[in-house]
Amino acid sequence: MQDAIKRCPWSEKDQLYRDYHDNEWGRPVYDDMVLFEFLILESFQAGLSWHTILKKRENFREAFDDFSYERIAHYQEDKIQKLMLNAGIIRNQLKIRAAVTNAQRFLEVREQYGTFCDYIWNFVGGQPIVNAPKTLSEIPATTELSDLLAADLKKKGFKFMGSTVVYAHMQATGMVWDHLVDCHCSASIEV
């Protein structure tokens, strides 16, 4: 049952989407563990719906050791094969292997910059970019900034981090604020 709160239209599919929209999407994330979780989830989402990923999120959490980049970076072939048999997640071998590679690259970025947060938030000057769209059609799938960040991640060896995936990550983690201006969440943005 839909409530009377005005939300971005994409979030009205069901309560799972409404909760994600109201409590997570667009909220600035400065915690490396959460940033990594979204990197993993977004990379698995490539070519699929975000709703599919959200429905499997807890399965991913369990299968990928609570998104511990330290643990995932050291996964061996037996763990990868076990993940390939896990019907609770997306069983795409390339994406599973990319998760391991991305955890390794994530650790390298942390070593170089102190935190992944410091690295990635530097692309937006440490503050969310507030776009204030009036309609969904005004929200891009990519931007010059997501192109730049995706290219830098690729240069660092990250996989499944094209510009569309990167822009979705930027939206999810609050680097860009794409809630519609008439969405109830827009009243809560703090920059």
Q: Where are the domains of the chain?
A: 9-188
Supply the pTM of this predicted model: 0.94
- Catalytic residue (choose from 10, 20, 24, 30): 20
**Does 183 appear as a known binding residue?**
yes
CATH H-level superfamily of 9-188: Hypothetical protein; domain 2 (1.10.340.30)
As averages over each run of 10 residues, the pLDDT of the chain (191 residues) reads 81 94 96 98 93 97 98 98 98 97 98 98 97 95 98 98 97 97 85 50
25 carries an active-site annotation:
no
- Whether 8 has a binding-site annotation, put simply, is yes
Q: What per-residue confidence (pLDDT) applies to 1?
A: 45
Q: Is 58 noted as a catalytic residue in this protein?
A: no
Our answer to whether residue 50 is catalytic in this structure is yes
The 8 Å CB, 24+ separation contacts for 7-16 are 7/183, 7/184, 7/185, 8/136, 8/178, 8/179, 8/180, 8/183, 8/185, 9/136, 9/180, 10/136, 13/51, 14/51, 16/51, 16/54, 16/55
**pLDDT digits over 83-124, tens only?**
999 999 999 999 999 999 999 999 999 999 999 999 999 999
Which of these is catalytic: 17, 25, 37, 42? 42
pLDDT of residue 187: 81
